[in-house]
Chains A and B, each alone.
Chain A
Amino acid sequence: MLTLTLLGLLVLLALGVSAPFIRPDRLALRLVHGGVGGVALALGIAAAIRLVAGGEVSELDLPLGLPWMGTHFRLDDLACFFMAAINLAAALVMVFADGYAARQPEPTRALAPLPIFLAACNLVLLANDAFVFLLAWEMMSIASWLLVLANHREDESRHAAYVYLAMASLSVLLLLLAFGALAGIDGDYRFAALREATERPPMATLAVVLAMLGAGAKAGLVPLHVWLPLAHPAAPSHVSALLSGVMVKIALYGLARFLFDLVGAPAWWWGVVLVVAGAASALIGILYALMQRDLKRVLAYSTIENVGVITFALGLSLCFRASELFDLSALALAGALAHALNHALFKSLMFCGAGVILEATHLRDLERMGGLVRRMPYASLFMLMGSLAASSLPPLNGFVSEWLIFQTVFASSALHDNLPRLIVPLMGAVLALSAALAAVAFVRAFGLAFLGRPRSVEAERAVEPGGTMMTGLALLAGGCLLLGVFPVVTLSLAESAAHGVIGVSLPAGAVGWIVLAPLGSGGAAYAGFIVFLALLGLAVGTRPLLARLWAERRRRAAAWDCGFPDASPSTQYTASSFSQPLRRVFGTAFFRARETVDMPAPGDARPARLEIRLIDPAWDWGVEPIRRAVEAATLRLNATQFLSIRRYLSLMFGALVTLLLIVAATQQ
């Protein structure tokens, strides 16, 4: 299995390297998307089967790379789960990409990095030493940077790619230091060695903090999220889907691998930190999503929210583990993993849907859309399903994992330490608030894009594209529905992975085809299938029943609108006006919202203007000081470019002597 996986990755790499040389372009597109999709599908299905069948942990050491170390690969349950999740999502996105990429201005630019990106993502999962892990991580960052740069002629893309590259480098640096701190000065960087270390190394606390920061920066946790809402929208839509659906999950995998596997038994505060960071990300992410006018930025911020939810559940699992409540820990971990899979599906669907809208109208601004439901019936249906899933509402899949996470929150009174016992419920309230706000954000996004009357000529003339783009959307939407109606599919996978990590299974009968009762029978239960069936039956059956009782008469007329309908579409509610109440409630606290009204004096003919400015504090307080420090340092160090040879040599000599001194000091 492991060898086959590696071979698959080799195929991807070969595809990536050869992509620029294939002519004509049309063939290259077909070949790359088809190839990537095929390999991803095969990998995903193989991983899922291995997970359910309960295969052994397989390891493989190759004499490549660093001569004294070699490279180490390992495939265990956690890696398998993520492999299944990201590859299945990626395969479905590739179906969409096949139709979508060809319509891009420079479709071949994304071709070479795409297979390499997916190969790198999978390689991170397989890594069994820090060297391979970081190499693959960096490969993933650079490939995705190239993908973000696919539309390089737009200033926005270049800026986004630059910020992204800076944050990705920061993330690698932090992880490098984290591994260093964990392994010690003359440490063994094989994961096996880290795992087997009996006593916690002295700098483990530092390592954990660094790993949280490093993986958090890559995953887009607040306050390290600034790159995400720039990079995801700037990329072509299928790439956005991969970034949100796949890469962010890899970052979370890195976090989970480090905290659950490599460092050993957790301290009580690790989980608390993750719980707080997760809840904060969820709330702030979704509040920002609510304020955006750009559809793809809405989705990007919603990714931050979901990353927050997953991190919250991971932290909760760590809290339970620190209290030695392994059942609940496994349950929380299963919830986190299930949400990762669900998010991979519905966010890919939403980004692809945004791509369809972009294709049909060339619009990303919600305030210029409207009425698309009449022009694009299928896309609107699929996006509606995606919106329901992203709002975590039944009977779609997003609800199941959120429900599960809330069940574990409700069990948090069993925790041993007082601080987490009080913090977890409070953060649970924050999580509930962000879940409710998510529904608002997606009502807003969907309602303004698809409903109402067209707000611009482009929206009025939109034409629904057909072909594989819509097939991809349909498959993703179908996946969301399937996993919502039969959550057992997701949960049996997540349960196996959680079993592999924690070593405890969920209670018998917790995960059934019909009923989901995670805390055992008699406890809280949810039956997605029954709810779906009842909803379908009632919604479809009510109409003929009523028609039989009283004959229905229907006619079309002008809208009532309290007797004063206005023909101009600009009288409709806009994206900004829809979020005005929530902006007034939360705005000043979270993003220093300022509304400036410019009301011309009577007789003045210029239009009145209402301007809304939102400032993300993370930029001002997080990024800006760092940028200033770096700038100051570079200005200072700039002088070192123009030294004489003798000075350079003396610098090197000084460095050598200092290092030797350190060695001498530590060996005493």
Chain B
Amino acid sequence: MIRTAIAGTLLQLLHLLVALAAAPLLLGVTRFAKSRLQSRRGPSPIQPYRDLLRLMRKETVLAHDASWIFRATPYLVFSLMVIAAGMVPMFALDLPLASAGDLIAIVALLATARFFQSLAGLDIGTAFGGIGASRDALIGSLAEPAVLMVAFALALVAGTTALPAIARFVLSGGVGVDVSLALALIALLIVAIAENGRIPVDNPATHLELTMVHEAMVLEYSGRNLALIEAAQMLKLLIFVSLVAALFAPWGLAAGDVLDLLELGGGLLIFLLHLLVGAAVIAIFEVSIAKMRVFRVVEFLGAALILAVLAVVFRFVAEAS
């Protein structure tokens, strides 16, 4: 009993450390791959680590009007992302934190982070903060129901919204080639792009005033606060990549006894593979598409919502037999 508890805690800590360590790498590799695809040299894959380190050391400049909400938000957002990351299986399935919240709870944690970030955007009282918060609200309010519908489709297939249980169900091979899962996967990918502010919804590499969404919200942050926000953003990308991987391709993740080092090592290798594939997919997608107008995003995300609803409807047809 105590032995498993200790092992679980160790595994959870290891998981969090790996997640924190891997998040900048994922972003770095994505940027690297993207610049190579665009025939640029691009910064090295470890550039995000350097950025974070430099930001941590830099002086923090706060606007005169910044309130305690502005100062607390980076810590809150970062903490929320860490908790959410702690719930998503990355290299091992049986995380103690995974029993503290299911897919809906993870979505809600991300929504809480968005809530605080929007408030921080409004806090300084600049037009940019407002424009970012307002547009982010538009994107978020359409992305969240889409994720919930994806969760619904998964719950219909696997009978639960607990992530390890869904992954186990997929592993058990009882699914086969399932239409609902395919539709849900597409919907989840669209949402992942929107939630992480990637092209075509938002461009993380621009500060052009008319196109910014996320960057406009965090415009006033600097130094350590900015580092935390950026780290949270990297974690979010990692969360979505591992979410897709854990739900739709959980093969090879450590699923058995948590102290089996061989299995853990295998899980880590698979995790690395997932990251590389995820980065490659994002990079290819981003170089082959142009950014959308803000009001086109509604249709893009509406399509995700509709696909997720269709996934649910098809599942009902299949179940009715």
Interface of A with B (CB < 8 Å)?
370-371, 373-374, 377, 380, 384, 388, 391-394, 399, 403, 406-407, 409-411, 413, 418, 421-422, 425-426, 428-429, 432-433, 435-437, 439-440, 442-444, 446-448, 450-453, 515, 519, 522-527, 530-531, 534-535, 538-540, 542-543, 546, 549-550, 552-562, 565-566, 569, 571-573, 577-582, 584-585
Contact = CB atoms under 8 A, between A and B. Distances in A.
Given A561-B127, A573-B129, A581-B134, A554 B64 contact: no
What are the 10 tightest A-B residue pairs by CB atom distance, in nearest-first order? Answer: A573-B130, A452-B125, A538-B79, A432-B145, A447-B122, A453-B125, A436-B144, A559-B63, A527-B100, A524-B102
A573 B127 CA distance: 5
B50 to A, nearest CB: 14
B230 interface: no
Contacts of A585: 138, 295, 298
Contact of A549 (B56, B298, B319): B56
23 contacts: A370-B125, A380-B69, A391-B115, A413-B319, A433-B142, A433-B305, A435-B144, A436-B142, A436-B144, A439-B137, A440-B137, A442-B115, A447-B118, A447-B123, A515-B99, A523-B165, A524-B104, A530-B100, A539-B75, A549-B56, A554-B62, A557-B63, A585-B295
Given A428-B152, A447-B133, A534-B83, A550 B57 contact: yes
B94 interface: no
B207 A562 contact: yes
Interface string B135-157: 10110111111001101100110
A353 B316 CA distance: 45
A413 B128 contact: no
B205 interface: no
A535 B319 contact: no
Nearest to A572: B125
Nearest to B131: A573
A403 B316 contact: no
A565 B126 CA distance: 7
A558 B63 contact: yes
Contacts of B104: 403, 406-407, 524, 526
A531 B315 CA distance: 32
A557 B61 contact: yes
A374 B67 contact: yes
B85 to A, nearest CB: 11
Contacts of B209: 562
| Residue of A435, A515, A538 with highest tally of chain B CB at under 10 A | A538
Interface residues on B, range: 35 or more
B105 A394 contact: yes
Given A522-B160, A539-B79, 11 more contacts: A374-B65, A388-B115, A394-B109, A399-B108, A403-B105, A418-B320, A451-B125, A515-B100, A526-B101, A531-B100, A534-B79
B125 A432 contact: no
Contacts, number: 275
Contact of A577 (B130, B140, B207): B130
Nearest to A538: B79
Contacts of A409: 152
B111 interface: yes
Contact of B141 (A373, A388, A421, A437): A437
A569 B122 CA distance: 12
A433 B145 contact: yes
Chief secondary structure at chain B's binding surface: helix
Contacts of B115: 388, 391, 393, 439, 442-443
A582 B316 CA distance: 32
Given A527-B100, A578-B130, A585-B298, A425 B309 contact: yes
A554 B59 contact: yes
Given A394-B109, A451-B69, A527 B101 contact: yes
B78 A448 contact: no
Interface in B204-249: 207, 209, 219-220, 222-224, 228
A580 B138 CA distance: 10
B79 A453 contact: no
B179 interface: no
A411 B159 CA distance: 8
B219 A561 contact: yes
B100 to A, nearest CB: 4
A452 B125 CA distance: 4
B206 to A, nearest CB: 12
B145 A429 contact: yes
| Residue of B122, B142, B152, B224 with highest tally of chain A CB at under 10 A | B122
A216 B35 CA distance: 59
A94 to B, nearest CB: 30
B162 A523 contact: yes
A556 B122 contact: no
Nearest to A446: B119
Given A447-B118, A553-B59, A555-B61, A538 B82 contact: yes
A552 B223 CA distance: 9
A413 B317 CA distance: 10
Interface string B180-220: 00000000000000000000000000010100000000011
B11 interface: no
B100 A550 contact: no
A535 B145 contact: no
Contacts of A384: 69
Contacts of A435: 144-145
Contacts of B160: 519, 522-524
Contacts of B141: 433, 436-437, 439-440, 582
A176 B295 CA distance: 49
Contact of B152 (A377, A410, A552, A559): A410
Contact of A452 (B86, B123, B148): B123
Interface string B272-312: 00000000000000000000001100100000010011001
